Each structure stands twice: as C-alpha cells, then as structure tokens.
C-alpha cells in the first residue's frame, strides 16, 4: 500500500463534517494507515483531543487546518500543517473568517425562508449555539432544507449551490488572501499548501491556459506545497500537479477530504494520501520553518 498517510480529513469540529475523532482514528487503523492529519475548516478546536487520541493509537500525525481564502474574486482553500501550531494565534487571527461565515449563513437562511425552503419560525441562533468555536456553514442550511422540505440532502444542496439564485458568496471582509493565509500559517509554526488544485484548473479551462493561472496563484500565495493526490483528481491531473510540484520545488501532499458518510460517501479515509518518503519530507520542511522562527 503506497498511500499510507491520509493528511486531509475533517472531523465533527468542522462545521460541515460528521465523524468524531475516535471514529476517524478507528477508520484509519482499519484502512491500514501509518499516519493521519485532521484538517478542520478554519478551526483548531479539535487538535488537543486529536493529538491525545492519535498518540494512544500509535499513529504518526501532523496537526492541520484548512483555511478559506480568495484570490482575485476566486475562492479557494489552503491547508496548513504543523508539528505543534500556535493555536492561540490561529484562533485570534481567524475570528474575522468565522464571523464572515456566520454572516453568509444568516443571509442564506433569510433567502431560504423567503423561498419557503425553511420555516420562517426557524432562528439562526438555533444553529449558532451548537457551534462553540466553529461557525454556521452552508451545509447546515442545506440540512435544514432537507428536514423542512423532506427531500434528499443531495437535492437540498443543489438548491443553494453556486450558480443558483439562492447562492450566497462569502463576504470579502471574512476572507484572507493566499499570501495572508501563508503568512499566518508560518507565524503559527506551520507550512502552507494549496488544497485540491483541480478546482482552479477545471474552472479556468475556458481561459485556455489553466496551468498558467495555477502557477500565478502558487507564486502569489507563496505556498510551500500543493495537494497532488486528492479524491477528485484524475490521473492526468495528478501527473500535472506532481510535475508542477517538482518544477516549483513544492512539497507534495494528499488525502481523502473525508467529511463523513453522508457528505463524502465515495471518499473514505485512506482512499488517497502520500507515502512515507513524502510524509518525512513534509515533517522536515515544517521543522526547517520552525527553526527559522526560533
């Protein structure tokens, strides 16, 4: 088994994922993995619990996070990895991002209520009070549509997807630029990796040169790595992103992007990942960055 390390997994500390950390660790052991990383969206709230549990399970690990970002009106995600993040700094600096997501969700809820997709009596606070250090996501709204309209979740998701009249974009005030996100991750003792680059290249196909735009983003964001192995990447895309990693001297990462059986049923823990050599190179890169901070 080549891909022994799945370092893109979401736990229930993400606002749009289901599984508890113990359940994820069980799945990792069952899949025969040697190591994992939890990369929850814009939060490090689960990391202390994760570190304790993963050590007991005798798995190798990295601390992780996935930060929302935007480049020239183009939304993207940035993965951060560390051996020991400055969690206080990340919590402080990502407060605006959490606030931006809550504002977006509140606006989307109002739109859905006006369209009779969610009861007018339903209050945003009902969702917010469950979130603690997290935020209300679009997926939370989708789940409320599913309940109220009694339709499959997949159908509810289509009603508010990008390109529909109900789609609500993240406000600019709540999003870091790629360079800002990289800077934050470096200051917090980590490295910065562009997540699922297929999302960029496929949307830029019409431009005629999606690779050029991807390279522009990688340079603008000052990334340390690129996610080559990912559940939605074709073999051709994996080859392209690996070539770019070699060309630009970027670390290679990979993972399933598991969010739970309901949301990502075809991307189980361990279905994508990196090998031992790539995992070791990633750890060495993190140590090098931490040495520069000390």
- Check residue 291 and give its pLDDT: 59
- One domain for residues 41 and 71: yes
Residue 59 in any domain: the answer is yes
- One domain for residues 62 and 131: no
Last residue of a domain, one of 114, 143, 172: 172
- One domain for residues 43 and 111: no
Q: For 222-233, how does the pLDDT look when each residue is reduced to its tens digit (9 = 90+)?
A: 999 999 999 999
Instruction: Name all contacts of 200-209 with Cβ < 8 Å and 24+ positions apart.
Output: 200/74, 200/76, 201/237, 201/240, 203/74
Number of domains composing the chain: 2
- One domain for residues 148 and 238: no
- One domain for residues 184 and 168: no
Last residue of a domain, one of 172, 202, 232: 172
Report the relative pairing of strands 60-71 and 74-82 from DSSP bridges: antiparallel
Last residue of a domain, one of 154, 172, 190: 172
Q: How confident is the model at residue 186 (pLDDT cuts 50, 70, 90)?
A: very high
- One domain for residues 128 and 223: no
Question: Mean pLDDT across the stretch 124-145?
Answer: 88
- One domain for residues 276 and 240: yes
* Closest-CA residue to 19 (of 6, 10, 31): 10
Neighbour-count burial for 61-74, b at 16+ CB within 10 Å, e otherwise: bbbbbbbbbbbeee
- One domain for residues 105 and 230: no
CATH, residue 277: 3.20.20.140
- One domain for residues 253 and 195: yes
Q: Tell me the pTM.
A: 0.93
Phi, psi of 64 (to 5 degrees): -140, 170
d(CA 66, CA 128): 20
Residue 92 in any domain: the answer is no
Query: How many CB atoms sit inside 10 A of residue 149's CB?
Result: 15
Domain that holds residue 142: 97-172
| pLDDT greater than 90 at residue 165 | yes
- One domain for residues 27 and 75: yes
Mean pLDDT across the chain = 93
- Check residue 2 and give its pLDDT: 64
- Check residue 73 and give its pLDDT: 82
Q: For 5-14, how does the pLDDT look when each residue is reduced to its tens digit (9 = 90+)?
A: 999 999 999 9
Question: Mean pLDDT across the stretch 229-245?
Answer: 97
**225's tokens:** 């790595």
């Amino acid at each position: 088994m080549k891909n022994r390390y799945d370092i893109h997994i979401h736990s229930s500390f993400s606002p749009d994922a289901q599984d508890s950390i113990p359940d994820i660790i069980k799945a990792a052991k069952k899949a025969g993995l040697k190591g994992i990383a939890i990369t929850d969206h814009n939060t490090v709230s689960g990391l202390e619990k994760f570190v304790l549990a993963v050590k007991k399970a005798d798995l190798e690990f990295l601390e992780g996070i996935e930060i929302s970002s935007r480049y020239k009106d183009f939304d993207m995600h940035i993965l951060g990895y560390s051996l020991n993040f400055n969690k206080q700094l990340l919590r402080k600096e990502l407060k605006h991002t959490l606030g931006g997501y809550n504002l977006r969700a509140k606006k989307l809820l109002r739109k859905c209520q006006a369209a009779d997709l969610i009861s007018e009596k339903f209050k945003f606070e009902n969702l917010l009070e469950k979130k603690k250090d997290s935020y209300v996501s679009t997926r939370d709204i989708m789940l409320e549509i599913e309940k109220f309209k009694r339709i499959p979740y997949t159908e509810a998701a289509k009603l508010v997807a990008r390109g529909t009249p109900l789609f609500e974009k993240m406000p600019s005030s709540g999003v870091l630029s790629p360079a800002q996100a990289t800077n934050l991750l470096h200051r917090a003792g980590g490295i910065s990796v562009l997540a699922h680059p297929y999302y960029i290249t496929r949307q830029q196909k019409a431009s005629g040169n999606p690779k050029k735009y991807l390279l522009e983003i990688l340079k603008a964001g000052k990334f340390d790595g690129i996610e080559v192995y990912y559940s939605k990447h074709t073999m051709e895309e994996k080859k392209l992103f690996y070539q770019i990693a070699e060309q630009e001297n970027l670390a290679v990462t990979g993972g399933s992007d598991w969010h739970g059986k309901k949301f990502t049923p075809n991307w189980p823990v361990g279905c994508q990942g990196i090998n031992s050599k790539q995992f070791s190179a990633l750890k060495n890169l993190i140590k090098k960055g931490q040495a520069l901070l000390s």
